[in-house]
Chains A and B, each alone.
Chain A
Amino acid sequence: GESVGLHLPTLSVQEGDNSIINCAYSNSASDYFIWYKQESGKGPQFIIDIRSNMDKRQGQRVTVLLNKTVKHLSLQIAATQPGDSAVYFCAENMGTDKLIFGTGTRLQVFP
């Protein structure tokens, strides 16, 4: 069946380094993708989104890259900070406003 998944369950990075979190999706009909951040004890929060007619979008310290050829999505966090420690989810919207979530990647930032 269709699925959204992540390559790495846990990513450890040193404070100040850049982080790259990857996501694979299998539904070629998906036209909208979102990255969410979930801190411990809280609900997921929107980080950045991208439509399928784009291949890159930048926010504040974050960049999302979309490669439709290989159905791959990545979230890049520049100058990772301790406050970036969280679980990150990618989600795809197949045009029905129902989001399908991946399993999540835990980002650990160490000094």
Chain B
Amino acid sequence: DADVTQTPRNRITKTGKRIMLECSQTKGHDRMYWYRQDPGLGLRLIYYSFDVKDINKGEISDGYSVSRQAQAKFSLSLESAIPNQTALYFCATSDLSGTGTGELFFGEGSRLTVL
């Protein structure tokens, strides 16, 4: 089983609809992240959370919100989806360790298409 699981893996929706992407992890990591990937733009950080009570905006948080329901769960919501939010979304985790290596462990991705 994957250590970082994203659902749904694929979703097609219409403009204006509310969408939630869910992420759960079995790695026991404190830190969780949501990234967006667009062709030619690499991965851009949307939101991140260093523990259950901590939520931080990333580079491109406008139009998105998140909820850290538990250490193992971090969900991303699009309150009113628009076509330019069509992208591949990745959840990631990292370990809050003294080494501070910053290595991220990624899920398999959720492909969202907004028509």
Residues of chain A whose beta carbon lies under 8 Å from any beta carbon of chain B: 9, 32, 34, 41-46, 49, 89, 93, 97-104
9 contacts between A and B (CB under 8 A): A34-B102, A42-B109, A43-B92, A44-B90, A44-B106, A97-B31, A97-B50, A97-B100, A101-B43
Residue of B nearest to A94 (CB): B102
Q: Beta-carbon contacts of B15-43 to A below 8 Å, as 1s and 0s? A: 00000000000000001000100001111
Q: Contact size class for B?
A: 20 to 34
Give chain A residues whose Cβ lies under 8 Å from the Cβ of B108: 41-43
Give chain B residues whose Cβ lies under 8 Å from the Cβ of A49: 101-103
Given the complex of chains A and B, what is the CA–CA distance between A103 and B39 in angstroms? 8
Residue of A nearest to B4 (CB): A43
- On whether the beta carbons of A89 and B106 are closer than 8 Å, the reply is no
Known: A32-B102, A34-B103, A42-B109. A97 touches B90 (CB 8 A): no
Residue of B nearest to A93 (CB): B102
- On whether the beta carbons of B42 and A104 are closer than 8 Å, the reply is yes
* Residue B87, interface by CB 8 Å: no
Given the complex of chains A and B, what is the CA–CA distance between A9 and B92 in angstroms? 24
* Residue B48, interface by CB 8 Å: yes
- On whether the beta carbons of B101 and A32 are closer than 8 Å, the reply is yes
Give chain B residues whose Cβ lies under 8 Å from the Cβ of A104: 42
Q: Beta-carbon contacts of B47-66 to A below 8 Å, as 1s and 0s? A: 01010000000100000000
* Residue B75, interface by CB 8 Å: no
Residue of B nearest to A46 (CB): B103
Given the complex of chains A and B, what is the CA–CA distance between A41 and B108 in angstroms? 7
Closest chain A CB from B89 CB (angstroms): 10
Give chain B residues whose Cβ lies under 8 Å from the Cβ of A97: 31, 50, 94, 100, 102
Which listed residue, A43, A102, A103, touches B106 by the CB 8 Å rule? Answer: A43
Give chain A residues whose Cβ lies under 8 Å from the Cβ of B48: 98
Given the complex of chains A and B, what is the CA–CA distance between A49 and B45 in angstroms? 20
